[in-house]
Chains A and B, each alone.
Chain A
Amino acid sequence: MKQFKGRVLASGNYKGKVIVSKQGVNTLATFQKSALMNKKQVIASDQNNSDIYGKNITGIALALPMTIGSTTGGMVLQVVCSMGINPACLLFSEPIDSLAAAGVVLAKVWENSNIIVIDKLGKEFLDTIKSDDDIEVKEDGTVTIL
């Protein structure tokens, strides 16, 4: 059992599996296909990200360093949150980037979303955590790999 503490940007509790991207997640490339086709789940569609490509990331924790790519990114996050097909948690090892931050704020202010967002979990967090690990996320920003 290993514990990490980050900064809480949107609080909540979660217990379940995690999908891990060791590289930056391209929000548009990852979410666009499922969102565009009005799917009930997001199957990650970024061909350049073999860590998560083809995986269902709806309702599950997503650990990542940051998001990258198009500046539609924040709005895309807002949309998937409004559709209820967002990851349950976004767990950033790095300080959150401006696009993801915009998405989190848009989802909070305009969609009343309950997505959990923690950043600054550190490099060791991303080095340690693996896809399909069971984790527990607490309101205070503690992430425990069970």
Chain B
Amino acid sequence: MYEPKMVLTDEQKDILNGKQGPTKAKIMETLVRYGDIFDAKRLVKVTHNQGHLVTSFGIPLLKPVYRIMDEIIAADLKAEGGFSMDPRPLDYKNVKCSPLEKLVFNLILYGKQEDYEKQLTKIGLTSKDKFTCACYFKEVGNIPKEGDILSWAESSAVNYANSVLGARCNRNSGMIDIFGSILGYVPEFGLLTDEGRKATYKVIVKTSKKPIPQILGSAIGMKVMEEVPYIVGLDKFLGSELTDDVCDYLKDFGAATASNGAVGLYHIENLTPEAKKLKTKLLVKDYKEYVIDDEELERIYKSYPIMWKNKDKKGNLAFIGCPHLSLNQLNLWTDRIVNALKENNLKKVKARTILCTAPEVKEEFMKTPNYQRLLKTGATLTCICPLMYTNNPLTKSHRIMTSSNKLRTYSIARYYKDEELLLAICGKEVK
């Protein structure tokens, strides 16, 4: 029997002691042990009751996950507030695969997808379309309020919820996310506390123009790792309002900080909610400093390894949208691709080009004329996670290009700046 260090209520003690069944007791023990490692004093209520789960892929290998899901179902437990999920791994209609690739995807990689989705539905998946890493898009609707306590995972979503929405969530792992949603409690430590949300790094942006979010986020992530940065000098380029454009910037910037490092929360002076209210009071006394100028960003960009087998050949497959593109970004990329083709006297893209977005955003986009404009370029639109596509070792035969630093980090995709990627998909040489 585990002896908790934190103080539990009588009800929580009863759950831990098995009075509500052995499965709930193990879930409680997991959360209590997890909190005890961080000296959490107590469990606190999850106030935004919609969860978000990171594990959306039915890989046969994840036997422990399926076993625990079965145990949860057998115990008649579920996440009462429901939850959204990270994106599905496959969409053969819009992301074409060779017969051999399909074989690997269907039999080896994601052979349990259907069974797993049945399990998810039984334990609280909100609807069949709730598969996106950007559950906080208004079209998707899993949007916490400032100050809400969450039980989410997915590094980019947690990062966005903490930083842009002002909600409170630790960088929970897969499984911890669903456990917190089932119990309705999470241990109070780290980013759930005022102290844990203070910045230990002051990042000073001294670039000559608006930095590319994917590279700026990468630089900050690699430097601060899991610490909280307070960023000054960026509001000069972004302004002080969370407009659609700014939110898109912060989504991509944050995902890069979270994947290239382990950033769960950042503050941007005069822009993000807590920085606007508390200003430099958010900085701890003995904070460290990191200055980012044009040279530093160039150094970071040049440090990215090219992992293609044949580095001299042109790319032949481009993924745009990791994290998923917003409606605003879909319109922007459509214009960019159409204009790039026009400038290069082309009717269709020269490299297979796939844009990724949330199912509800895709539905909205399909109602607009831009959807047909995009399709006419030869590009396709999907709702998968491109990272899960690149998990198939056979996809190494493609020279995958991306403008996502997250996808670059977890795959052998080569990173290109947006304007470089546009040239590349028009078949131009990009050095």
Which positions in A face B, CB cutoff 8 Å? Answer: 9, 24, 26, 28-29, 32-33, 35-38, 47-48, 65-75, 78-79, 82-83, 96-99, 101-106, 108-111
| B63 CB contacts on chain A under 8 angstroms | 79, 82
* Pair A24/B225 contact, Cβ less than 8 Å: yes
* Pair A74/B38 contact, Cβ less than 8 Å: no
Contact A79/B64 with A29-B410, A68-B226, A71-B54 known, Cβ cut-off 8 Å: yes
- Provide 14 A-B residue pairs closer than 8 Å at the C-beta atoms, listed in order of the A residue: A24-B261, A26-B409, A48-B305, A69-B258, A69-B409, A71-B153, A71-B154, A71-B172, A72-B174, A74-B176, A75-B55, A79-B64, A98-B171, A101-B34
* Pair A111/B109 contact, Cβ less than 8 Å: no
In chain A, what residue has the closest Cβ to B177? A71
A24 to B263, CA, bound (A): 12
A124 to B190, CA, bound (A): 25
A35 to B391, CA, bound (A): 11
* Pair B170/A109 contact, Cβ less than 8 Å: no
B68 interfacial contact with A, CB 8 Å: yes
* Pair A71/B173 contact, Cβ less than 8 Å: yes
* Pair B155/A74 contact, Cβ less than 8 Å: no
B61 interfacial contact with A, CB 8 Å: yes
A37 to B104, CA, bound (A): 11
| A73 CB contacts on chain B under 8 angstroms | 173
In chain A, what residue has the closest Cβ to B159? A71
A66 to B225, CA, bound (A): 9
| B108 CB contacts on chain A under 8 angstroms | 37
* Pair B64/A9 contact, Cβ less than 8 Å: no
B44 interfacial contact with A, CB 8 Å: no
Interface centre among A28, A104, A105 (most CB of B within 10 A): A105
* Pair A98/B170 contact, Cβ less than 8 Å: yes
| B307 CB contacts on chain A under 8 angstroms | 47
* Pair A72/B172 contact, Cβ less than 8 Å: no
A65 to B225, CA, bound (A): 10
8 A-B pairs closest in CB distance: A74-B173, A102-B173, A75-B174, A68-B262, A71-B153, A105-B33, A101-B37, A82-B64
